[in-house]
Chains A and B, each alone.
Chain A
Amino acid sequence: MPAGVNKRLGMAVNLNRCVGCSACAIACKSENNVPPGRLRRWIHEKTAGRFPDLKMQIWSESCMHCEDAPCVHSCPTGASHVDAATGTVQVHPELCTGCKACMASCPYDARYVHPDGYIDKCTLCVHKLEHGEEAACQSICPTSAIAVGDLDDPTSEISRWLRDRNALVRKPEAGTKPKFFLVE
């Protein structure tokens, strides 16, 4: 955990429950005023196997809030930073120059250019979590496929999922220690 970080908030998506309805993506847009033509969350589909033995997996995806976040390291102004209270990766729009170094360094292509000029991405709805509410994507999910919580709290739903189920991270070879998990 980076020095000075109180919590280690993360997200998990249950692959057995996610149906790819996109409600999370729309709820996120609505909650965070995401501009038209941009998405902080999206649905990812992966089909693999040998015909006819194909397996399809669907999941909702966003910024991975990596512990060793390359976007934070590459940002020349400190606009991309790790929030000390939550351990999440956030962007200060007032410090961002729109140089796109963070977009270049993100292995997950989770960022986009906001029409105002700054680089934007998922905040994990920390403004809601601070008040004891659920993240927009989590609260709208009709199958309860999304868990958001403190990875260091053994009683949190996300910790129980990670303890009891097989958990994967996207592109582990990138070495960024993502705090976004896919659980089976």
Chain B
Amino acid sequence: MQQEIFVEEVSTRQNPHVDPGLHFWGWEVPVYLFFGGLVAGLLVLYAAAELTGNRRKLPFSSRWGPFLALPLLGLGLFALFLDLEYKSHVLRFYGTLKLRSPMSWGSWILILVAVAALAPAWQSLCTEGRRRGWAWLRRPAWRNLQRFLNHRRKSMAWLNLSLGVALGIYTGILLSSLAARPVWSSTILGPLFLISGLSTGLALCAWLTRSKLERHFLVRLDLILIAVELLFLSLWLFGLSSGGEAARQAAQLFLGGPYTAVFWTLVVGAGLLVPALLETMAILRRWPETRVGLALILVGGLMLRFVLVDAGQAMGIGG
């Protein structure tokens, strides 16, 4: 038998974050991407409820979704801030807009999302305040603001829907634009992260709502999203497996390589298949209704981002 060609490459470079293995992004970036997707899901759900006239059917999602989105967005931005090596330069993101840099337009989307979500969040607060009889809400300025916003409910919903979709896709495009990392170099990561974000947003609302009707509706919708997410994950892996040498090596990380166990057990198994089974059996009234499946969807969404961000750094083009 002919001996295989031997190739070994070594370098005297020993730069932190780069050698011996690349690790420039730690836990902060997947956490940021997770909260970004979650916020996108909450905003899209609120906007969809508003635009389809389902506010009564989805009381929690339509009223508290945008309200919840703001602190969650804050947590995501805080994680991103922690990742920056030059924290005092954080405002440099807003000195320019570079269309070829997803991180540039993404940072602008984050600001726009925060501003756009304020209006429906304020409306939720006013509705709650009226119910509880908060006197300060009766002041003319606040009443005028409330009247102004009430006349623009549809426009605000459209705005939040657009920005929610943009935010969800951006969290995936941020990775897929980095062609030097074959694991990430797939445009399907945009729609994949959007669907995953929508799924986690629905799971959070289904967990927190007191309305059984809303929970049942959201759980059924989430089952569809889980199926779409599984389809996108399959397409992503298929795309890598049928690509060039670097892409095939990237696919091998999940098909027998070091990320196989964590990907198939935590992301696909615990994060998608188990919750799908739990919710389906609850719908069929075979098993009791629990919130375990919803919690697993959230954990699975987080794990998807942890695994992909970490695996992407495991190999570059040409090894």
Contacts and interface: CB of A to CB of B under 8 A. Distances in A.
Interface of A: 22, 25, 37-39, 42-51, 54, 61, 70, 73-79, 94-101, 103-107, 109, 111-113, 116-119, 170-171, 173-174
Given A74-B103, A74-B178, A97-B92, A39 B87 contact: no
Contact of B17 (A73, A112, A170): A112
A77 B86 CA distance: 13
A174 B85 contact: no
B85 A119 contact: yes
Interface in B299-319: 313, 316-318
A175 to B, nearest CB: 8
B52 interface: no
Interface in B1-30: 2-18, 22, 24-25
Contacts of A117: 84-89
Contact of B101 (A25, A50, A101, A119): A101
B282 to A, nearest CB: 41
Given A103-B24, A104-B178, A46 B7 contact: yes
A109 B22 contact: yes
B271 to A, nearest CB: 25
A98 B84 contact: yes
Contact of A54 (B6, B98, B100): B6
A92 to B, nearest CB: 10
B15 to A, nearest CB: 4
Given A51-B6, A74-B177, A97-B93, A39 B103 contact: no
Contacts, number: 164
A173 B178 contact: no
A96 B18 contact: no
Contacts of B89: 77, 94-98, 117-118
B318 to A, nearest CB: 4
Interface of B: 2-18, 22, 24-25, 83-90, 92-93, 95-96, 98, 100-104, 106-107, 177-181, 244, 246, 313, 316-318
The 4 nearest A-B residue pairs measured at CB: A98-B85, A117-B86, A42-B13, A76-B104
A99 B83 contact: yes
A43 B180 contact: no
Nearest to B181: A104
B70 to A, nearest CB: 23
A78 B98 contact: yes
A43 B9 CA distance: 11
Interface centre among A76, A96, A171 (most CB of B within 10 A): A76
A54 B107 CA distance: 50
Interface centre among A38, A42, A104, A171 (most CB of B within 10 A): A104
A100 B85 contact: yes
A112 B7 CA distance: 26
Nearest to B8: A47
A44 B9 contact: yes
B92 A96 contact: yes
A50 to B, nearest CB: 5
A45 B9 contact: yes
B240 to A, nearest CB: 15
